[in-house]
Structure 1
Amino acid sequence: MTPANPLPDTRVTRQALIDACLRMNDRHLNQGTSGNISARIDGGILITPSGVPYEDLTPDAMVTIPLTGLPASNGPKPSSEWPFHQGMHRARPDMPVVLHAHPPYCSVLAVQRRAIPACHYMIAAFGGNNVPLADYALFGSPELCANMAQIMADRHGCLMANHGATVLGETIDKAFWRLEELETLARTYLFSSIGGEAVILSDAEIAEVLVAFQDYGPRAASDT
């Protein structure tokens, strides 16, 4: 797994994390301050602080935590989900952005403890033939970190039992794009049971889409 270049620790990056939080709530992908986002930077991880309303966030409010070990005991408190963010950044060095939220349709499937099968070709945006479900564990716990690292070893997104959803991104924009796509997939899968049942694409059909998806999705601004 080839490590991706870390994002620069600049006010632009910090503001982009805030903008992603605001967009999550504006697009009804999250509620209140239950979502969080992090980006790997040189020397650590930038993550949103705990319990601060998104509209009150400033670039200086973003918290820096180490890639391994505990956050500093002084200064702003990082999101309560920092342990699994830290774990995901270690487990997936190819993905410098981790985005977690409680989208409504994803959350319905999460509390039903249902993964999303290949009901639509956009499943390939998440790296395989399904969006898997991580086993339940207390938020912020080592068990949740282990569950997430295992289930996301070869995926770019997952549902979290009785919790919500998490996606990974090569950029902040691509992580946000995946979150929107995941919520759309969850809604499609749930609604497909009304008056019928989803027809699942075969592994061969999804393998074909995975090849076509190698350069799919929004590009970083520097690539345009």
Structure 2
Amino acid sequence: MSSLPSFTDDTRGLRLEIIETARALPKLGLTKGTSGNVSARVEGGFLITPSGTPYEDLTPDKIVPLDLEGRCRGDFLPSSEWRMHLDFYLAKPDCGAVVHCHSPRATALACLRRGIPAFHYMVALAGGDRIECADYASFGTRALSEAMIAALGERNACLLANHGQIAGGPNLKKALSVAEGVEDLADQYLSALSIGDPHILDATEMKNILQKFKSYGKQAGELTAGQTAAFELPVRVD
């Protein structure tokens, strides 16, 4: 069995970043009270916010370390949703951080058990041509974690039926940004549904969009061989 991840001073900066990310959730309107949780990968495991602790009361020593076998150490219990975070990391080796929240509009869609189709090309932010809604299971259970993995597929975000949403990314900043994006898309989709049936982009266009997203945000010198810019570049005159 692997040894438990250490909780040494070299993780202090990451623990502080986890706290900052958790405190950003209510400020951004992504959750209320103590709902939601945040984690970040470390060597051999991950660090996660504790169970039932108000975000304003978080301190670095309250952030709980777990290994990839679900074992923890310290005086605080991890979030009740630790298993979702664990399985997210096991399924996606490139994932460095996970944010789970009960953002209101994404949760509203999740309570309808509806995912977010390609009504807008920005659904590609989750890494696919739609954002799925996982089947319902009680919070904090292995069944919920399994439902999440099935809904994620190759993507990095999904809705959780009658619950909320979960999003991952290479780091905490990106995971939080994806969670924000999912909530924005849910808001736009619900607004469109209130008027009529939104037009859904077809699979060919979404395949094109996903290809563009691979280079979106990169500068010309950062494009690798075979990559093209996400959109037509102007003629450069030096």
Q: TM-score, normalised by structure 1?
A: 0.89
Report 1:22-41 matches (<5 A).
22-41=23-42
Number of the residue aligned with 1:159: 159
> Shift of the alpha carbon at 1:71?
2.8
Secondary structure at 1:32 match in 2: coil
Q: Does 1:57 align with 2:55?
A: no
> Shift of the alpha carbon at 1:131?
0.2
Compared with structure 1, are the counterparts of its residues 35 and 215 closer, same or farther at alpha carbon in structure 2 (3 Å cutoff)? farther
> Shift of the alpha carbon at 1:9?
5.3
Number of the residue aligned with 1:179: 179
**Aligned letter for 1:43?**
G
Compared with structure 1, are the counterparts of its residues 194 and 86 closer, same or farther at alpha carbon in structure 2 (3 Å cutoff)? same
Number of the residue aligned with 2:15: 14
> Shift of the alpha carbon at 1:215?
4.0
Single out whichever of 125-134 and 193-202 deviates more from structure 2. 193-202
Number of the residue aligned with 2:75: 75
Secondary structure at 2:148 match in 1: helix
Number of the residue aligned with 1:213: 213
In structure 2, stretches of 5+ residues that fail to align are 1-8, 219-238
Number of the residue aligned with 1:222: none
> Shift of the alpha carbon at 1:69?
3.4
Contact 1:9 1:42 in 2 (8 A): no
Number of the residue aligned with 1:112: 112
Report 1:198-209 matches (<5 A).
198-209=198-209
Contact 1:40 1:46 in 2 (8 A): yes
Number of the residue aligned with 1:4: none
Number of the residue aligned with 1:47: 48
Quick one: percent identity of the two aligned structures?
A: 43
Contact 1:92 1:153 in 2 (8 A): no
Contact 2:64 2:72 in 1 (8 A): no
Cα root mean square deviation, aligned = 1.6
Contact 1:91 1:153 in 2 (8 A): no
Compared with structure 1, are the counterparts of its residues 217 and 173 closer, same or farther at alpha carbon in structure 2 (3 Å cutoff)? farther
In structure 1, stretches of 5+ residues that fail to align are 1-7, 219-224
Q: Deviations over 1:134-175 (max 9, x none)?
A: 101111111111111222230110000000000011111001
Number of the residue aligned with 1:141: 141
> Shift of the alpha carbon at 1:10?
2.0
**Aligned letter for 1:163?**
H
Secondary structure at 2:39 match in 1: strand
**How many angstroms apart in 1 are the aligned matches of 2:65 and 2:114?**
34
Q: TM-score, normalised by structure 2?
A: 0.84
> Shift of the alpha carbon at 1:43?
2.0
Contact 2:70 2:83 in 1 (8 A): no
Task: Point out 4+ residue stretches in structure 1 off by more than 6 angstroms.
Answer: none
Number of the residue aligned with 2:227: none
Compared with structure 1, are the counterparts of its residues 190 and 213 closer, same or farther at alpha carbon in structure 2 (3 Å cutoff)? same
**How many angstroms apart in 1 are the aligned matches of 2:84 and 2:182?**
19
Q: Deviations over 1:45-83 (max 9, x none)?
A: 1000011110111112110011113334x5211000011
Contact 1:106 1:183 in 2 (8 A): yes
